[in-house]
A = this chain, B = another copy of it.
Amino acid sequence: MAEPHSVYTPTKRTIPARKPERLSYDVAAVNAVLDEALVCHVAYQVDGIPAMIPTLHVRIGDQLYIHGSTGSRLMRAASENGIPLCIGVTLTDGLVMARTWFNHSVNFRSVIIHGDAVVVTDKDEKWDAMVALMDHVAQGRAEGSRSANKREFAATAMLRIPLVEVSLKVRSGPPGDDEEDLELPHWAGVLPMETVFGDPIPACDLPVPTYIAEHQRSKRLSEVGD
Protein backbone atom coordinates (compact mmCIF):
# COMPACT_ATOMS: atom_id res chain seq x y z
CA MET A 1 0.00 0.00 0.00
CA ALA A 2 1.45 3.37 -1.03
CA GLU A 3 1.81 6.07 1.56
CA PRO A 4 -0.88 8.67 0.90
CA HIS A 5 1.23 11.46 2.35
CA SER A 6 4.62 11.88 3.93
CA VAL A 7 3.65 14.23 6.75
CA TYR A 8 0.62 14.15 9.06
CA THR A 9 -1.46 17.30 9.30
CA PRO A 10 -1.31 18.72 12.84
CA THR A 11 -4.63 19.05 14.68
CA LYS A 12 -5.75 20.57 17.94
CA ARG A 13 -5.01 17.24 19.62
CA THR A 14 -1.57 16.74 18.14
CA ILE A 15 -0.11 20.24 18.46
CA PRO A 16 2.16 20.18 21.52
CA ALA A 17 1.70 22.55 24.43
CA ARG A 18 5.50 22.74 24.79
CA LYS A 19 8.86 21.56 23.38
CA PRO A 20 7.66 21.73 19.75
CA GLU A 21 11.23 20.96 18.66
CA ARG A 22 10.68 17.39 19.83
CA LEU A 23 7.56 16.90 17.76
CA SER A 24 7.40 15.39 14.32
CA TYR A 25 4.60 14.53 11.91
CA ASP A 26 6.85 12.53 9.62
CA VAL A 27 5.06 9.43 8.41
CA ALA A 28 8.18 7.34 7.84
CA ALA A 29 9.52 8.12 11.32
CA VAL A 30 6.14 7.27 12.87
CA ASN A 31 5.99 4.00 10.93
CA ALA A 32 9.46 3.03 12.14
CA VAL A 33 8.33 3.35 15.78
CA LEU A 34 5.06 1.50 15.22
CA ASP A 35 6.91 -1.30 13.43
CA GLU A 36 9.63 -1.64 16.07
CA ALA A 37 7.31 -1.62 19.08
CA LEU A 38 5.23 -4.64 19.96
CA VAL A 39 3.00 -3.22 22.66
CA CYS A 40 0.77 -0.16 22.67
CA HIS A 41 -1.41 1.38 25.35
CA VAL A 42 -4.99 2.03 24.29
CA ALA A 43 -7.13 4.57 26.16
CA TYR A 44 -10.89 4.66 25.72
CA GLN A 45 -14.09 5.35 27.57
CA VAL A 46 -16.99 3.00 28.25
CA ASP A 47 -20.08 4.43 29.94
CA GLY A 48 -18.11 7.54 30.83
CA ILE A 49 -15.45 5.47 32.59
CA PRO A 50 -11.90 5.97 31.32
CA ALA A 51 -10.06 2.75 30.72
CA MET A 52 -6.71 1.66 29.38
CA ILE A 53 -5.28 -1.61 28.14
CA PRO A 54 -1.92 -2.67 26.83
CA THR A 55 -2.17 -4.79 23.72
CA LEU A 56 -0.34 -5.85 20.56
CA HIS A 57 -0.65 -3.80 17.40
CA VAL A 58 0.46 -4.04 13.81
CA ARG A 59 0.59 -1.46 11.05
CA ILE A 60 -0.48 -2.20 7.49
CA GLY A 61 0.12 0.81 5.28
CA ASP A 62 -1.72 3.76 6.81
CA GLN A 63 -3.91 1.68 9.13
CA LEU A 64 -3.17 0.40 12.61
CA TYR A 65 -4.75 -2.84 13.76
CA ILE A 66 -5.14 -3.98 17.35
CA HIS A 67 -6.49 -7.33 18.25
CA GLY A 68 -8.44 -8.67 21.16
CA SER A 69 -11.12 -11.07 22.24
CA THR A 70 -14.65 -10.46 21.04
CA GLY A 71 -15.57 -10.68 24.71
CA SER A 72 -13.35 -7.85 25.88
CA ARG A 73 -14.82 -4.58 27.10
CA LEU A 74 -13.11 -2.61 24.36
CA MET A 75 -14.22 -4.85 21.53
CA ARG A 76 -17.79 -5.05 22.77
CA ALA A 77 -17.96 -1.26 23.04
CA ALA A 78 -16.40 -0.79 19.60
CA SER A 79 -18.65 -3.28 17.87
CA GLU A 80 -21.67 -1.00 18.07
CA ASN A 81 -20.63 2.23 16.35
CA GLY A 82 -16.88 2.26 16.57
CA ILE A 83 -15.10 3.95 19.43
CA PRO A 84 -12.78 6.94 19.79
CA LEU A 85 -9.34 5.84 20.95
CA CYS A 86 -6.10 7.43 22.00
CA ILE A 87 -3.14 5.11 21.51
CA GLY A 88 0.40 5.53 22.83
CA VAL A 89 3.43 3.61 21.59
CA THR A 90 6.68 4.40 23.40
CA LEU A 91 10.24 3.15 22.95
CA THR A 92 12.77 4.17 25.59
CA ASP A 93 16.29 4.50 24.25
CA GLY A 94 18.27 5.77 27.21
CA LEU A 95 18.47 7.50 30.55
CA VAL A 96 19.81 11.02 30.19
CA MET A 97 21.91 11.90 33.22
CA ALA A 98 22.55 15.62 33.37
CA ARG A 99 24.66 17.50 35.87
CA THR A 100 21.47 18.90 37.38
CA TRP A 101 18.24 17.19 38.43
CA PHE A 102 16.30 19.57 36.25
CA ASN A 103 18.01 18.61 33.01
CA HIS A 104 17.68 14.88 33.49
CA SER A 105 15.60 13.32 30.79
CA VAL A 106 14.88 10.16 28.87
CA ASN A 107 15.79 9.45 25.27
CA PHE A 108 12.61 8.12 23.76
CA ARG A 109 10.44 7.86 20.69
CA SER A 110 6.73 8.06 21.36
CA VAL A 111 3.83 7.99 18.92
CA ILE A 112 0.39 9.21 19.94
CA ILE A 113 -2.56 8.34 17.72
CA HIS A 114 -6.07 9.76 17.93
CA GLY A 115 -8.85 8.22 15.95
CA ASP A 116 -12.12 6.37 15.75
CA ALA A 117 -11.60 2.63 15.68
CA VAL A 118 -14.00 0.26 13.99
CA VAL A 119 -14.26 -3.50 14.23
CA VAL A 120 -13.03 -5.11 11.02
CA THR A 121 -15.93 -7.02 9.45
CA ASP A 122 -14.40 -7.90 6.09
CA LYS A 123 -13.06 -11.42 6.51
CA ASP A 124 -10.14 -11.06 4.12
CA GLU A 125 -9.01 -7.85 5.79
CA LYS A 126 -9.29 -9.49 9.19
CA TRP A 127 -7.29 -12.50 8.04
CA ASP A 128 -4.59 -10.27 6.54
CA ALA A 129 -4.35 -8.32 9.78
CA MET A 130 -3.98 -11.54 11.76
CA VAL A 131 -1.17 -12.70 9.45
CA ALA A 132 0.53 -9.31 9.77
CA LEU A 133 0.20 -9.37 13.55
CA MET A 134 1.78 -12.82 13.78
CA ASP A 135 4.66 -11.77 11.56
CA HIS A 136 5.05 -8.53 13.52
CA VAL A 137 5.67 -10.60 16.64
CA ALA A 138 8.26 -12.71 14.76
CA GLN A 139 8.72 -12.55 11.00
CA GLY A 140 7.84 -16.02 9.70
CA ARG A 141 5.57 -17.01 12.56
CA ALA A 142 2.32 -16.83 10.57
CA GLU A 143 3.65 -19.63 8.35
CA GLY A 144 5.34 -21.29 11.30
CA SER A 145 2.24 -22.11 13.33
CA ARG A 146 -1.28 -23.35 12.68
CA SER A 147 -3.55 -20.61 11.41
CA ALA A 148 -6.88 -19.78 13.00
CA ASN A 149 -9.72 -22.22 12.53
CA LYS A 150 -13.31 -21.07 12.15
CA ARG A 151 -14.02 -20.94 15.87
CA GLU A 152 -10.76 -19.15 16.67
CA PHE A 153 -11.26 -16.70 13.81
CA ALA A 154 -14.72 -15.85 15.10
CA ALA A 155 -13.48 -15.41 18.68
CA THR A 156 -10.80 -12.92 17.62
CA ALA A 157 -11.76 -9.31 17.09
CA MET A 158 -9.62 -6.88 15.14
CA LEU A 159 -9.93 -3.10 15.40
CA ARG A 160 -8.77 -0.76 12.66
CA ILE A 161 -7.67 2.81 13.35
CA PRO A 162 -6.71 5.08 10.44
CA LEU A 163 -3.31 6.69 10.85
CA VAL A 164 -4.43 10.26 10.22
CA GLU A 165 -4.18 12.18 13.47
CA VAL A 166 -0.73 11.15 14.58
CA SER A 167 2.31 12.72 16.16
CA LEU A 168 5.75 11.56 17.18
CA LYS A 169 7.79 12.95 20.03
CA VAL A 170 11.50 12.22 20.06
CA ARG A 171 14.33 13.04 22.43
CA SER A 172 17.80 11.83 21.57
CA GLY A 173 21.41 12.73 22.17
CA PRO A 174 23.43 13.87 25.17
CA PRO A 175 22.19 15.78 28.21
CA GLY A 176 21.39 19.44 27.66
CA ASP A 177 22.96 21.07 30.68
CA ASP A 178 23.01 24.84 30.94
CA GLU A 179 26.29 26.62 30.27
CA GLU A 180 26.77 27.62 33.91
CA ASP A 181 26.41 24.02 35.06
CA LEU A 182 29.02 22.44 32.80
CA GLU A 183 31.79 22.65 35.39
CA LEU A 184 29.81 20.98 38.16
CA PRO A 185 31.64 17.92 39.55
CA HIS A 186 28.90 15.52 38.50
CA TRP A 187 29.10 12.80 35.87
CA ALA A 188 26.90 13.46 32.86
CA GLY A 189 26.05 11.16 30.01
CA VAL A 190 23.53 8.73 28.62
CA LEU A 191 22.85 5.17 29.74
CA PRO A 192 21.48 3.47 26.61
CA MET A 193 18.48 1.18 27.03
CA GLU A 194 17.28 -1.52 24.73
CA THR A 195 14.86 -4.42 24.75
CA VAL A 196 16.60 -7.70 24.02
CA PHE A 197 15.55 -11.30 23.69
CA GLY A 198 17.10 -14.11 25.71
CA ASP A 199 17.56 -17.73 24.76
CA PRO A 200 14.31 -19.40 23.71
CA ILE A 201 12.64 -21.55 26.38
CA PRO A 202 11.24 -24.50 24.43
CA ALA A 203 7.91 -26.13 25.22
CA CYS A 204 8.52 -28.95 22.75
CA ASP A 205 11.28 -31.15 21.37
CA LEU A 206 11.43 -29.57 17.91
CA PRO A 207 14.49 -27.50 16.95
CA VAL A 208 14.21 -23.73 17.32
CA PRO A 209 13.24 -22.35 13.90
CA THR A 210 15.80 -20.17 12.15
CA TYR A 211 13.50 -17.16 12.07
CA ILE A 212 13.17 -17.25 15.86
CA ALA A 213 16.91 -17.67 16.45
CA GLU A 214 17.57 -14.78 14.04
CA HIS A 215 14.88 -12.66 15.61
CA GLN A 216 16.54 -13.22 18.95
CA ARG A 217 19.97 -12.22 17.70
CA SER A 218 18.70 -9.14 15.85
CA LYS A 219 17.51 -7.70 19.10
CA ARG A 220 20.62 -8.32 21.16
CA LEU A 221 22.37 -5.24 22.39
CA SER A 222 25.69 -4.92 20.60
CA GLU A 223 27.20 -3.47 23.76
CA VAL A 224 26.06 -6.35 25.94
CA GLY A 225 28.29 -9.37 26.44
CA ASP A 226 31.91 -9.52 27.42
Binding site for B on A (CB under 8 A): 12-13, 17-18, 38-39, 41, 43-45, 49-54, 56, 69, 71-73, 76, 84-88, 90, 92, 94-95, 97-102, 104, 106, 108, 110, 112, 114, 130, 134, 137-138, 141-142, 144-149, 152, 155-156, 174-175, 177, 181, 184-204, 206-209, 212, 215-216, 220-226
Q: Is the CB of B17 within 8 A of A72?
A: yes
* A-B interface, 6 closest residue pairs, ranked by CB to CB distance from nearest: A225-B225, A43-B43, A198-B223, A192-B198, A102-B152, A41-B41
In the complex, the answer to whether A221 meets B196 with C-beta atoms within 8 Å is: yes
Give CA–CA (A185, B121) in the complex, Å.
31
Residue from the list B43, B181, B186 in contact with A206, Cβ < 8 A = B186
A87 CB contacts on chain B under 8 angstroms: 52
A86 pairs with B195, CB closer than 8 A: no
Nearest CB of B to A32, in Å: 17
Contacts of A38 in B (CB 8 A): 92, 95, 106
* CA A90 to CA B56, docked complex, whole Å: 12
Centre residue among A110, A197, A226 by max chain B CB count within 10 A: A197
What's the dominant secondary structure at chain A's contact region? mixed
Name the CB-closest residue of B to A40. Answer: B41
Q: Would B51 and A186 count as touching, CB distance under 8 A?
A: no
Instruction: Report Cα–Cα, A71/B221, bound state, in Å.
Output: 36
User: Which residue in B52, B90, B114, B197 is a CB contact (below 8 Å) of A191?
Assistant: B197
What is the minimal beta-carbon distance from A113 to any residue of chain B, in angstroms? 9
> Contact at B187–A198, with CB atoms within 8 Å?
no
CB pairs A–B below 8 angstroms (28 shown): A12-B49, A38-B92, A38-B95, A38-B106, A41-B41, A43-B43, A43-B52, A43-B86, A51-B86, A56-B106, A101-B145, A101-B147, A102-B156, A144-B187, A185-B206, A187-B207, A189-B201, A189-B203, A190-B200, A191-B198, A191-B216, A192-B197, A192-B198, A192-B200, A193-B197, A194-B198, A198-B222, A199-B223
Q: Answer whether A72 and B224 are a contact pair too, CB < 8 Å, given A43-B86, A199-B192.
A: no
